[in-house]
Structures are given as structure tokens and as C-alpha cells.
Amino acid sequence: MPLPSLETPHAAATPAGAPLSDSPERRLENSFAAHFAQQQNSGLPDWWLEARQKAWERFAALPLPTRLDERWRFSKLSGLALEGYTLPKGAANTYPHVDYQCPTLPPFERAATLCFHGQTMVHGTELPAELSARGVIFAPLPIALAEHGDLLRNYFHKYPAELGSEKFTALNTALATTGAVLYVPAGVEIDQPLLVEHSVEGSHSAAFPHTLVILGERAKATLVEHFASTATATPAAGARTLDEVARGGTAGSEAAPPLRQFITAVSELHAAPSAQLTYIGVQDWSLGALALHSSSIAAQRDARVLSLNLHFGGAQVRHESHSRLLAPGAHSDICSLSIAHGTQEYDQRTLQTHAAPNTSSDLLYKNALLGHAHTIFSGLIVVDPDAQKTDAYQSNRNLILSPDATADSLPGLEIQANDVRCTHGATSYRIDPEQLYYLRSRGIPTAQANEMLIFGFFEEVMSRLSEPALHDALAAFIQSKFKEI
Amino acid sequence: MSSLEIRDLHIAIGDKPIVKGLSLTLRGGEVHAIMGPNGTGKSTLAKVIAGHPDYTVTQGDVILDGKSIRDMEPDERARAGIFLAFQYPSEIPGVSLANFLRAAVQARIPEGEELDAVAYYKRLYAKMDHLKIDRKFTSRAINEGFSGGEKKRVEILQMMMLEPDFVLMDETDSGLDIDALRIVADGINSMRGASFGALIITHYQRLLDYIVPDFVHVMYDGRIVKSGGKEIALELEAKGYDWVQNELAPAAS
């Protein structure tokens, strides 16, 4: 049976909410019906299947973003046309795929790993028995839904990040079969990070990972998600030799031209009172990929959440982050670090909502731009009328390493309370010649001195991570990615 | 014996001449002091010898051990044995002092050879203790949030780690209290010897009480207007810079 294809026309050709009967969206809908039917007996809860159906209808009804939409200001809308992508195969029960090697990050000690490939899970390590015994759940989305549907129902889409990508996040909900659910009951602290690997293989393939993290009161955990592309799938994937499989799984082995792929990813982070959650996303999609990531953070009383997203890959990547401070004492660090090169477009939209008094948030987004890269940062801090004593900070800093690169920055504040401290700022600058001279005056060669200054620029973000082993592994990965350019 | 020879040096920034024909020879083992009022070109001289890209040498040359360094890059000059202790050292966020110094030491090791990290840290800690710099500073970003005195002590730490043949000290005494001044002077004095030459640029005579120079030069309006022994520093202290402007400068031109 041929794979169904996922296609939509450009926005101009599709009146909102009224796809033509023979439109690519209709064809996509028909193919989804078959996909949907396959899932009926898979033990997924009814509420989830209904949510998927509704999400599908919402996807079909919502128009693609237009130039009139302020939330897409500066974005390259032509890149959002979805024609030509292949809908992923139904989740075949092929776990574990012993001959599939996930792309990996530099090693660090971890409590458990889940590795997804396309729309299926291919590897996983068990949680330590002690954590399972205490009620920790770390499982792929379909399994978690089948086994703990009632628990998860209260959290799914409770606090969506809707900063312009609603159409795409609806598609994610409709089609998500990968992603992890992490549930940590009250009082349980997990010292080592949990790792989720996502890889998408081959040209014109699509993926829809959805991750849900729920930390109970006083719980503590760190989740690392790594998103990567692997080399072109051969038509008969089963016929590949182990050598080919191994090569396919090696970072940086992909040959030109870059793989055209389409990903919408969603992560939802919930931190109950006094929970401490660290989330790290490492985005390293193919340089031909269109990726839309949506991330929401909900922090309750005295909860502390740190989210750090690293961006290296993709042709056009949009990352939306909505952080909600819901009860007094809640704190959120929202950080990002990007190395944009070639003709990459990184489009980052953030919202910090202070809905309760005595809450704090600190956003730091840093971009290093090379080649003809384009970055967009648009951030807003909203302070609700009764959120007195809010302490909110927002900073976007762009290091421009090429005269042809462009950084657009739109910081914003919307304050309805009168006793708050809110600051925001955006700066773009080049390597400081005095700093460079200082390093060189000690005998350090120019190229190395430049690199030290760039890594120093990154370190200001990385130093927010309190786990030294994880910090060092990620810093090493950043350096290796930078040197690949 | 090593030597650093400044030959009829003319320096401009843009079209504006700053140093207007300055000659001076510094030999290994010697400590020279250059004194003079603000804005007379002392700091410019030091920066240019260390290869600062903002200035243009319009005439003359700087010769290190018989070889012109005029076309050498700043990092090449440093590896050749020149060290500038900055008046205003740069703050560099995100780069730790230990990694920075390690890169600088590594740059002096032949390619392919690895730095002995254990020996490096042992040496670094010994120098830090000598200069009364808390060992925690190794993990701090270079000069970020350092006090004026800490910055200057860290400049001397770098000098002691890199063991240059010639150091240019640009107003190293400015912003130092007396205790810090003693520590800094002690660090410099500990390096004195046949293979170490120093050019100390200062506005005040005070530093020279602690680092006694072999020669003192008075600089005014881009030129040396008087040279001699350490007694000149005392004379300058007594008579003030008006003496330079009214008597020495007219006599020298």
C-alpha cells in the first residue's frame, strides 16, 4: 500500500475553514481517516481519540498564517507550505529495533532513555526499579495513554502555548504517536537526567513528537530531549546492511542536499507546588527541515522550572514558548541558545504570563548568527492585575558574526499591576575588538580567540544549568556543532 | 642578551599623530620607567608595541632581538616574548580565567605537544598564592566583576605564568591601594633578572618606590624630553608636570 501523502496548498488558495473537496487537505484528511482507523483497537482512551479527531478538524479549519498576522511578523511564510511530505506509517510494533542506532549526544549519566525513530519507539531502557516502585512513569506516549489515561487527561492541553502555531500544534495532537510521558509523584527526586531521543529518517518524512512532563509536589527531575535527522532511508529499509544502518545513525554523516522534513513538536511541562523541573531541548534537525516546536510551562506555588532550548539544525525553525507563573513563589527560567548559519531562519516567540503575586521569571535568549542566517525574537511579558511584586526579566542577545546575517528583535511588556519589577532588552553586537585584542595579546591565535569569545557568549546561558556533567556534555556538543560549520 | 629597541617611532590614530619620533632601547635585566602627564602618548606607545590594531605606525620601527616586529600580529608578538599589562583589562564573560591562561600557555608549546595539566594547575596555584588571589578566581570569568586591584593582580598573575622577556606595564599602579601595590610590585620584582626587561608607564612616582627603575624617561607630547636615572622621578615629583611643560619640553624641541 502506498504511503498516504500529507499536502496542503498555500494559504492563499484555501479559504479558512472551507477546504475544497479535492484539495490536498481533503486528501490528507482521507488518508488520516485510514490512519485513525488503525488506531481504534490500540487501547487508547476514548477522550484521547476524540481529542485527536477534534484536533484534526481544527487543523483543517485553521488557515495557514498570513502576512496580516502580527504573530508571524518577519517570518518566511512561503516556507510553511506543507506539500510533498509523507505521513508517517502507523506505529508498527517493532520495538525494540536492535539494529537501529539513535543519533546521540555526548555521554552523560542518565536514569533512563527512550529512543523514537519516525513514528515508533525503537529503544528504551527501564527506569531503575526503585523509581518505578515509587510510582514514577517514564513511557512512550501511546503506552502511557493506554495505561494511565485517566491520570494524563487532566494535563493534556491544559495550558497550551498558542503563540501563532495553533494549526500546527493541532496537527501534532492529531498525529502524535511518539514522545515521552514523564510523571514523577510527590516527593520523589530523580538525580540523573532522563533522555528522550527523536530521530526522523529520510527525505520528505514528517514527525509529530509530543512530550508531557508532570512533576508532583516537591518532585525533582531533569528531562533532556534530543531531536535529530538521520540519512536518507533506502526504499527497502529492511534490506540495509548493519554498516549502512550504523552510518545512517552517525551525526554529521548526511550528504548534501539536506533532507527535507517536516516536524511539529509539542512539549507540555507541569510543575506542582515546590517541584523543581529542568527541561532541555536539543534541536538538531536536518538543514532542510521545517520544524515548529511549541513548549508550555505551568509553574505552581514555589515551583522552579528551567527550560533551555538549543538550536543547531533545520532550515526554518519556529519555537514558541509560553511560561505561566500560576501561584505565589513560582519561578521560571526560560533560556535558549542558537547557532544559526547558512540560510537558516530561527523564529522564536515567547510569552511570560504572571498570573499570581510574588512570581518571577527570567528569560535569556542568545543567538549567534553566521552566513545569511535570520533570527527573529518576539517576546512578551504579561503581568495580570493582581500579580503584584512580580519580578520579570527578558533579554535577547544576538552575536552577529557575519555582515549578511539579520537579527530581528521585538521585546514587549504588558503590565496591569502597579508594584512590579520588569525589565526587557534586546542587543545585537559583534565580537568586541578590545576583547579579541586582549586574548590575542596573551599569545592566543586569532581563530582560537574568536572561538573562545563565542563559547563565552554561550556559556552565560549554559551556566544556568546546575548539573556539571550535563553542562559539560552539552557544552562539548555545542562546540562540536560550531566546529562543523 | 635580549633587547627591545624602539627606533624613531611615529604613531597616529587616524590622521592624528600621537607619538612623534620616540627612541628607546630596553635590554634584558633593565627596568625603565616612562613618566609624563596624561594624554602625552605613553599608553599609546605600550599598545602599539603590543600590536593594537587601532593605531598606525607612520614611521620608525620596533626591533625585538634584532628583528622587526612591525608586521607581526599581536598574538605573534606575545609568543615572541612581549607582554602588556593593561591599564584597563577587558572583562570577558563566559571565559574562565583558568581556561584562558591554559590556552595562552598552550599557545607557547610546540604543536602536537600536550600541556601537562597537573603541573599547570600546581604552578598556577603557587603564583595565585604568591599574589594573594583566591583560588576560586580560576573558575570566574576573566575580570568580570573584579575590583580594580583584583584586575591588576590578575594581570601580574598572567605575566608570571607566561614568563615574557619584556613587559610593558601601563599604569599598573592606578587604582591600587597600598597593600595591593606592594603585592603587585613584589610580583614584578620576583621576576627581575637578566632575562627580564620592563617598561613601566606611570603617572606617579609612588610605584617606583617599590619597583626601583634603572632608567627614567620623561615623556611629553609624543616625545621623550628627558632621560636619566631614578633621581629624575624624585625631581619630577618635587617640581611637578609644569616643569616638564615649561622647561623640559621647550628645551627638547
Which domains occur in chain B, in start order? Answer: 3-88+164-252 (3.40.50.300)
What pLDDT score does B129 carry? 95
By the 10 Å C-beta count (0-12 exposed, 13-18 middle, 19+ buried), A340 is classed as buried
What pLDDT, in 10s, does the model give residues B162-188? 999 999 999 998 888 888 899 989 989
* Nearest chain B alpha carbon to A433: B53
Nearest-by-Cβ selection for B79 from A435, A443, A460: A443
Does residue A187 have a pLDDT over 70? yes
- For A281-295, the pLDDT digits (tens) are 999 999 999 999 999
| Residues B78, A448: C-beta atoms closer than 8 Å | no
Residue A96 has pLDDT above 80, yes or no: no
Q: Which residue has the higher pLDDT, A123 or B118?
A: B118
Sign (positive or negative) of CA dihedral B137, B141, B145, B150: positive
Contact B95 A455 (CB under 8 A): yes
Task: Judge whether B163 is closer than 8 Å to chain A, CB to CB.
Answer: no
Band (pLDDT 50/70/90 cuts) for residue A28 is low
Q: Which residues contact A357 (CB under 8 A, 6 or more apart)?
A: A328, A386, A387, A388, A389, A390, A417
Q: What is the nearest CA distance from B178 to chain A, expressed in angstroms?
A: 27
In tens, the pLDDT along B4-42 reads: 999 999 999 989 999 999 999 999 999 999 999 888 999
- Write down the mean pLDDT value for chain A: 86
State yes or no: pLDDT of A244 exceeds 60. no
Task: Give the distance from residue B177's alpha carbon to the nearest chain A alpha carbon, in angstroms.
Answer: 25
Residue A453 sits at the chain B interface (C-beta within 8 Å): yes
% of chain B beyond a pLDDT of 90: 79
Whether residue A256 is predicted with pLDDT greater than 80 in this model: the reply is no
A435–B90 C-beta distance less than 8 A: yes
Q: What is the ipTM of this complex?
A: 0.95
- The span from the CA of B143 to the CA of A158, in Å, is 46
Best A431, A436, A442 residue to mutate vs chain B (most B CBs within 10 Å): A442
Indicate whether A453 pLDDT > 80: yes
B-chain residue closest to A448, CA distance: B103
**Per-residue pLDDT averaged across A366-371, rounded?**
97
Nearest CA to CA, how far is A308 from chain B (Å)? 17
Q: State the pLDDT at residue A34.
A: 61
Query: Alpha helix locations (H) across B81-204?
Result: 97-106, 117-130, 148-162, 178-191
Per-residue confidence (pLDDT) for residue A69, from 0 to 100: 93
Of B75, B84, B86, the CB nearest to A444: B75
Average pLDDT over residues A262-290: 96
Residue B110 reports pLDDT greater than 60:
yes
- Nearest chain A residue to B53, by CA: A437
C-alpha cell at A461: 546561558
Lowest-pLDDT choice from A34-43, A236-245, A334-343, B51-60? A236-245
Pick the range with the lowest mean pLDDT from A129-133, A226-230, A388-392.
A226-230
Mean pLDDT value across chain B:
93
* Residue percentage of chain A with pLDDT more than 90: 69
Q: What is the pLDDT of residues A29-79, one digit of tens each?
A: 665 566 666 665 568 899 998 998 899 889 889 999 999 999 999 999 988
pLDDT of residue A456: 95
Q: Is A465 on the interface with B (CB under 8 A)?
A: no
Please provide the distance, in angstroms rounded to a whole number, between the alpha carbons at the two ends of chain B: 33
pLDDT band at A3 (very low <50, low <70, confident <90, very high): very low
pLDDT value at residue A139: 95
**Residue reference for cell 592606578:** B174
Q: What is the mean pLDDT of residues A372-397?
A: 97
Confidence at A242, pLDDT banded by 50, 70, 90: very low
pLDDT reading at B210 higher than 70: yes
Q: For strands A112-117 and A194-201, give the pairing.
A: parallel
CB of B109 less than 8 A from some CB of A: no
Write out the DSSP string of A121-143. EEEE-PPPHHHHHTT-EEEEHHH
Q: Mind listing the pLDDT tens digit for each residue in B91-105?
A: 999 999 999 999 999
pLDDT of residue A205: 84
* Cα–Cα distance, A120 to A103 (Å, whole number): 15
Average pLDDT (B129-157) is 94
**pLDDT of A250 over the 90 cut:** no
| Residue A91 scores a pLDDT above 70 | no
Domain ranges of chain A: 94-432, 433-485
